[in-house]
Amino acid sequence: MQSSAAPAAHIIKDRVDAALALRGSGRFAEALDLLNMPGEYAQDVYTLRGDLQLDLGRVHEALGSYSTVIALDRRNMYAHQKLAVCLRQLERWEPAIETLRKILAQDSYSDSARIGLGDCLLHLNKPEEALACFEACWSEGALLPCLFGKAVCLQLLHRYDQSEATYQRFLELKPDSEEALGNLIALSMEQFALARVQRYALQLIGLRPNSAIALQALVVTAFERREFESAAEYYGRLLDMAPAPDLSRGGGNGAVQYRLSQESAVGLKLRQPSRRAEPRSY
């Protein structure tokens, strides 16, 4: 028995080494094929198989591989971490929370698990519990995601001043964050603070000239200030987008919830200069 087991182990090791080499050169599918051959494999093989499946976006399959590893060794924290990644990608928030709490029970210093737990709790609309997770993070590497997560929690808890200050701190470290600026627009719209809406919208336009969130915000601020020419210009840029949001029906993407009267929307359209059709190129 020992003489047959040794060659088998040698063959498996050769396959793993070859799969790792293929993965290193970006040939994920070929590497996975090597590990999909019939045979009795150790947990390291299932772990690598799961990693390759994740590389290929085959999340359901990766979930099965990491679950097999955990069945073989319930204390394998790497497999638990990857299992949590799969569950979050599949939006299975409750099982992900359970897995992340198991990780934290074994490693209370894991900020990555704590951030993942906070994110899952936010998706379940539990901002107070999520806030506690982000506030408990301690490592320098966790600073940015924790600041952002904390700002979102405070916004959802209607603690607007604290939320805005936290977003501002986040933007000092990451000034090109479109998501943070979009959230600040939404936060300012909730308070109908038009000066701040305009300021953040212009910042976002500077990063992304065709940002629907920013253009909608600028339509609103210009219209409220009776700056109709400016409102018409921004509205025209929205109309150039496909599909254009219909503000007369409360259209928007969640950041800007505002309804123009049908008469006002028509008036803005009438202010648009005529657009000559561009010739098609074939």
In the chain, where the domains are located: 9-90, 100-175, 178-272
Give pLDDT, residue 112. Answer: 96
Q: Is the dihedral of CA 84, 89, 91, 92 positive or negative?
A: negative
Q: How many CA atoms lie within 13 A of 2 on its CB side?
A: 0
What's the CA gap between 156 and 218, in Å, rounded? 23
Q: What is the pLDDT along the chain (282 residues), one digit of tens a residue?
A: 444 455 556 777 888 889 999 999 999 999 999 888 766 568 889 999 999 999 999 999 999 999 999 999 999 999 999 999 999 999 999 999 999 999 999 999 999 999 999 999 999 999 999 999 999 999 999 999 999 999 999 999 999 999 999 999 999 999 999 999 999 999 999 999 999 999 999 999 999 999 999 999 999 999 999 999 999 999 999 888 866 555 554 445 555 545 444 444 444 444 444 334 333 332
Tell me if the pTM is above 0.85.
no
Between CA 178 and CA 175 the distance in angstroms is 9
Q: Can you give the pLDDT at residue 279? A: 35
User: What is the rounded CA–CA span in Å between residue 140 and residue 175?
Assistant: 18
Domain 9-90: homologous superfamily in CATH: Tetratricopeptide repeat domain (1.25.40.10)
Measure the CA–CA gap between 233 and 220, rounded to whole angstroms: 12
- Give yes or no on whether 100-175 and 178-272 have one common fold: yes
- Which architecture characterizes domain 100-175 according to CATH? Alpha Horseshoe (1.25)
Q: Does domain 178-272 have CATH number 1.25.40?
A: yes
Please give the structure tokens belonging to residue 129. 């519990």
User: Do residues 47 and 78 make contact, with C-beta atoms less than 8 angstroms apart?
Assistant: yes
Pair of tokens at residue 35: 């590990």
Tokens of 96: 């992900």
Q: Give the model's pLDDT for residue 215.
A: 95
Tokens of 110: 């894991």
Going by the DSSP 8-state scheme, the letter that residue 109 receives in this structure is T
CA nearest neighbour of 146 among 175, 169, 125: 169
Token representation of residue 173: 């470290």
The dihedral formed by the CA atoms of 194, 198, 201 and 205, expressed in degrees to the nearest 10: 160
